[in-house]
Amino acid sequence: MIDIVNSLGDLSYWTQKTVPEELRDVGFRTIKAFGAKSRFFHCEFFRLNEDKEGLGQKGDYVALEVNMRPAGGYTPDLINYANSVDCYQIWADMVCYDELRHEKLDLPHHYCVYAGRRDCHTYKHSHEEILARYGRQMKMCDRVPDVLSLDMGNQMYVATLDTATERDAFVRYVQEQAPAQAAKD
């Protein structure tokens, strides 16, 4: 994230349809170690791209942080749209009843993807072109509050898509910058 902020890059992130078994195991063991029950939490892990002495070997998951709160930004919205659920209702059911009462959980139906844009860049595709192309899949489209804009950009688009190929094409389309114009003589 710090590289995106420092370079004024464009942020994109998305939900996954499946969680690798090794990551699922590490996540469950982490939450068990913290004794978290009937509460919102999220864990952040890195997967090592190379061996790191004192941390682990290439491919290992390394914990960055564990938070006893919902993930930040628009992540709860992405979870809701990807799964056709209300994660806050799920949380309320767990707190009040220690069981799900109002939601049916299935495997995620879609990828839900966030693509942000910055006012300081000129993009190849206009806001209107994005809406024309992805309007049926668009779930959210709005200005990002100033307090979040340094990290997340100034304009955000959230869409649900069925395949990783469609997801990646959406991000490219939204964030493709216009070619720099040649200096005039």
Q: Domain boundaries in the chain?
A: 1-17+74-89+106-178
**Long-range interactions of 92-100: CB distance < 8 A, separation 24+:** 94/38, 94/39, 95/38, 95/39, 98/38
Quick one: tokens of 124?
A: 């190849």
Is the per-residue pLDDT at 37 higher than 90?
no
What's the average model confidence in pLDDT over 111-130?
97
**C-beta of residue 155 within 8 angstroms of C-beta of residue 146:** no
Which pTM does this prediction carry?
A: 0.86
The answer to whether the CB of 78 falls within 8 A of the CB of 72 is no
Task: Please state, in angstroms and rounded to a whole number, the distance separating the CA atoms of residues 86 and 104.
Answer: 10
Q: Residue 152 contacts by C-beta under 8 Å, 6 or more apart in sequence?
A: 11, 73, 74, 114, 116, 144
Flag whether pLDDT at 105 surpasses 80: no
Closest CA to 113 of 172, 67, 55: 172
The reported pLDDT for the residue numbered 183 is: 47
Mean pLDDT of the chain: 90
Residue range 155-182, pLDDT digits in tens: 999 999 999 999 999 999 999 999 875 4
